[in-house]
Amino acid sequence: MDNTVNRTNNQLILFDTPRSLPNGLVYKPDFLTRDEEEILLAYIGNLPLFHAPYREYTANRRIMNFGWSFDFRKNRLVPGPELPTFLKPVQYKIAKWLGIEKRRVAEALITEYSKGTQLGWHVDNESFETIVGISLGSWSRIRFRPLRSRNKNDIITLELEPRSAYIMQGQVRWEWQHSVMPVPDLRYSITFRTLPPQLSK
Ligand SMILES: O=C(O)CCC(=O)C(=O)O
């Protein structure tokens, strides 16, 4: 079975979507307008992003967290700076899409992937619930595999177009890992994560 959801002649082809995509994964092309993308990229361009510290090494990706962040050295969630004003409209749009209160979209992680940068297989920190990823700049490919599987045939690849968004919840959130393949050109992602109501400020 070909599990790849990919681009042909610059068109995104989502064939056999319900059977091809892992349960709980929703993909939405054109979640942002070109103007919204341009404004976000302009603000992000002025942020002092830094190379992500990860246990004993530093990643190629440059990042910045708002709301909350995970301290890999202390192995726990720590409060981060408040979401900046320029992220608020996207936070609102996501809350509306998910049908939850805005305050529950509690964390935003901005990541810069320079050409060739990737992100390894992982499951996001368990303190957070739903994950929503926004793509800016270059297209990229995100891969998914069931947690305990190392069979290449189980990998599902989804192409992420600029301005698109995906939701990860349910099985894909908790029972699958995901990774980002080396990006063909400069790409930014904004990963919003929700907290349960009792933990949201
Ligand atoms: O770049 C992306 O869209 C994925 C980001 C991600 O998986 C993460 O930050 O945990």
| CATH for 58 | 2.60.120.590
Of 18-22, 37-41, 90-94, 166-170, the poorest mean pLDDT is in: 18-22
Domain that holds residue 85: 4-199
pLDDT value of residue 52: 87
Distance CA 40, CA 117 (A): 21
- pLDDT confidence of residue 201: 67
Which residues lie below 8 Å from residue 79, measured CB to CB, with a gap of 6+? 67, 68
Residue 140 CA to ligand 1 center (angstroms) comes to 11
Q: What is the pLDDT of residues 172-182, one digit of tens each?
A: 999 999 999 99
Alpha-carbon separation of residue 136 from 14, 37, 160, 166, 173 (angstroms):
20, 6, 9, 13, 22
Query: Does ligand 1 have an atom closer than 6 angstroms to the CB of 133?
Result: yes
Residue 2, pLDDT score: 40
194 CA distance to ligand 1 middle (Å): 14
Q: Which of 146, 157, 145 is nearest to 181 (CA)?
A: 157
Angle at 66 between CA 167 and CA 62, to 5 degrees: 85
Asked if 50 contacts 57 with a C-beta cutoff of 8 angstroms, the reply is no
69, 76, 106, 113 from 166: Cα distances, Å? 20, 26, 17, 18
- pLDDT confidence band for 4 (50 / 70 / 90): very low
At 113, the pLDDT band (50, 70, 90 cuts) reads very high
**Rounded distance from Cα 133 to ligand 1 centre (Å):** 7
* Any ligand 1 atom below 6 A from CB of 124: yes
pLDDT on residue 185 = 98
pLDDT at residue 10 greater than cutoff 90: no
- Global pTM reads 0.89
How large is the average pLDDT for residues 133-158? 95
Nearest CA owner, ligand 1 atom 1: 189
Token pair 């510290």 is found at 53
CB of 107 within 6 A of ligand 1: the answer is no
User: Does 137 contact ligand 1 (Cβ within 6 A)?
Assistant: no
To test the pocket of ligand 1, the residue of 25, 191, 194 to mutate (highest count of ligand atoms within 8 Å of its CB) is 191
**Cα(77) to centroid(ligand 1), Å:** 17
Which is the closest atom of ligand 1 to the Cα of 124?
10
Separation of alpha carbons 67 and 63, rounded Å? 14
pLDDT surpassing 70 at residue 91: yes
> What does the alpha-carbon distance between residue 107 and residue 152 come to, in Å, rounded to a whole number?
32
| Highest mean pLDDT pick, 43-57, 70-84, 127-141 | 127-141
Give the pLDDT of residue 122.
95
How high does pLDDT run on average in the chain? 89
| Number of domains composing the chain | 1
* 157 pLDDT higher than 60: yes
**pLDDT of amino acid 55:** 72
Please give the structure tokens belonging to residue 25: 């994964």
Q: Residue 90 pLDDT more than 80?
A: yes
- CA of 191 from ligand 1 middle (Å) equals 6
CA nearest ligand 1 atom 5, residue: 191
**Residue 136 in contact with ligand 1 by CB distance below 6 A:** no
